[in-house]
Copies of this chain bind each other. A is one copy, B any other.
């Protein structure tokens, strides 16, 4: 004779599993949207690493994270173009000198978090990318109106050959 469990019990098991695996952070819901309507992606701080960079022209250290679609594309070298659904998150800090290791630059104050969202139809006017940035720990949206994204795109034009993305995924074993 087969053993049975009530359907309700099965859904309880699934619900508990969903709770365990769901990212706890939904603080992003409180953040005001960018002037072009883009909302700060939920859970971006927990995304996987794609690369890092250090800019001496504005003394900032950066880590670039990606959502699942972005990371899959990065790890499989499928980034020309990046697939629709890609979101790249760049977290930018002011340079700080490590107090115990003079020759090491480490993240100081948070400058901003910025994002590129790939949707070749929705963002056709900005080469398939939605741009957004939130300033500082208060996460103030950047830009006076929706046109700010043209400023982003202008800066990204030199990277046209890399689908307008400066970030090249870092080598991993």
Contact = CB atoms under 8 A, between A and B. Distances in A.
Interface of A: 2-10, 13-14, 17, 21, 27, 45-49, 51-57, 61-63, 65, 71, 91, 93, 98, 100-101, 103-110, 113, 134, 136-139, 158-159, 162, 166, 168, 170-173
10 contacts: A5-B10, A45-B48, A48-B48, A51-B106, A54-B104, A63-B63, A91-B170, A91-B172, A100-B162, A113-B173
Contacts of A2: 6-8
A40 to B, nearest CB: 9
State the copy count for this chain: 2
A101 B55 contact: yes
A98 B168 CA distance: 9
Contact of A107 (B4, B113, B159, B171): B171
Contact of A45 (B5, B61, B172): B172
A10 B12 CA distance: 11
Contacts of A8: 2
Contacts of A158: 100-101
Contact of A53 (B51, B57, B105, B109): B105
A54 B98 CA distance: 10
